[in-house]
Amino acid sequence: MAYRSVYDLGAVRSEFEKTGISSRFIAHVWKYAIQNPNIEIDFDGVPSLPSAAYPLLRSKFRSSTSTLDSISESDDNVTSKLLIRLQDGAFVEAVVMRYDTRLGRYAGKPRPGGPRSTLCISSQVGCKMGCKFCATGSMGFKRNLSSGEIVEQLVHASRISHIRNVVFMGMGEPLNNYAALIEAVQIMTGFPFQLSPKRITISTVGIIHALNKLQDDLPNVNLAVSLHAPVQDIRCQIMPAARAFPLEKLMDTLVSYQRNSKQKIFIEYIMLDGVNDEEQQAHQLGKLLQTLEVVVNLIPFNPIGITNQFRTSNKQNVQMFQSILRSFYGIRTTIRKQMGQDISGACGQLVVNIPPKGSVSSADLITDIEDLRI
Ligand code: SAH
Ligand code: SF4
């Protein structure tokens, strides 16, 4: 029998309601579950629940429906890739980036209480958006994660590092799993996790109808949009989903999103040699973004093995792109750093081909996103 995760809030709440138990007890169960990794089945130790809650929890829920199958550490110990096995045998990956980007008087010194980390998490097994440069896209769509399965990635990661930021840049398109995304973020920002919404970033290809709702459902979270091209035809070539979500409409959506949120929007732009990295395209991008308040992250393409269709742009082109955006259009533009190339699991290029234990490949570190939180 399949059990629900105790972090599947809607499911726990409705079971509690049926039995006349107040939902205010749920967060207490979570607090206990986080502190006691071994309870799994037996909720008996959770203090002060109404007596009917114990058999109910035991019969229908587990404090963890997923298990941490393996951890791959990068050589520099900055990046850890968590391979997580879900209840039905599917795997997802989450990446912990322990990179202390503090400036000022603590720069370079160990942080009291250990480093604060950024966790990159998955929202789906596979993805149906089919972006041509993305390993996850090549898997096709397998299934959505439940809110509990999303939150469990944070629970697993919190056991190895103090997580300060969460970015939805792992496997899957978070806005295609909307209800679970909203519930998971609401759990993460409430007791006992208490992450600041300002430290949560949702990265999307731009699912227009979902973006129109996101603001009301999750005010104050950060939005990152995977734009990757300044014009519709290039976008369609590399991102088939762009046909359903035309660039012009997407830009209108972002303008009204920003009008309401008053927050800057992060724009992700993967640098592909000869595809979207020419001078003219930098100007097109600058003009396109001029009316918005954005930070552009230029992302070197990580080769993904399944295709040799793309190469990353050379350094000069990336720098040229950055300086055009900065100097002609005044757009804050960062170049994504790549680190921990020795372990598999760059955010956004995750594909789970279960590796033989101990075998590892590449990861990149999104310190640019982390930098912006400081
Ligand atoms: N589906 C969402 C979130 C996951 S992908 C999205 O597309 O935004 C997270 C980021 O990684 C996206 O910006 C994505 O375009 C990028 N990415 C995907 N494949 C990549 C690759 N091979 N190299 C570098 N970045 C990649
Ligand atoms: Fe899906 Fe994002 Fe990969 Fe595109 S880049 S296939 S949306 S995970």
Among 171, 299, 311, 338, the mutation site with the greatest number of ligand 1 atoms within 8 A of its Cβ is: 299
DSSP letter at 361? -
Task: Give residue 360's pLDDT.
Answer: 33
Active site residue 93: yes
User: What distance in angstroms lies between residue 192's CA and the mean position of ligand 2's atoms?
Assistant: 31
Average pLDDT of the chain to the nearest whole number = 88
- Domains of the chain in sequence order: 4-60 (no CATH), 89-373 (3.20.20.70)
Confidence of residue 1 (pLDDT cuts 50, 70, 90): confident
User: What distance in angstroms lies between residue 286's CA and the mean position of ligand 2's atoms?
Assistant: 24
Evaluate if residue 353 carries a pLDDT over 60: no
Q: Give the residue, by CA position, lying nearest to ligand 2 atom 4.
A: 131
Ligand nearest to the CA of 223: 1
Q: Give the residue, by CA position, lying nearest to ligand 1 atom 11.
A: 348
Environment class of residue 342 by beta-carbon count within 10 Å: exposed (0-12), middle (13-18) or buried (19+)?
A: middle
Task: Give residue 74's pLDDT.
Answer: 83
Please give the sequence-ordered ranges of beta strands (E in DSSP) within the chain, or none if there are none. Answer: 4-5, 61-62, 67-73, 79-85, 91-97, 116-120, 124-126, 141-144, 162-168, 200-204, 222-226, 265-271, 294-300, 332-335
pTM above 0.85, yes or no: yes
Distance of CA 340 to the CA centre of its chain: 18
Are 283 and 311 a contacting pair, CB within 8 Å? Answer: no
Rounding to the nearest 10 degrees, give the CA dihedral for residues 247, 252, 253, 256: 160
40-66 average pLDDT score? 92
Position in ligand 2 atom list of the atom nearest CA 135? 3
Does the CB atom of residue 173 touch ligand 2 within 6 A?
A: yes
Active site residue 73: no
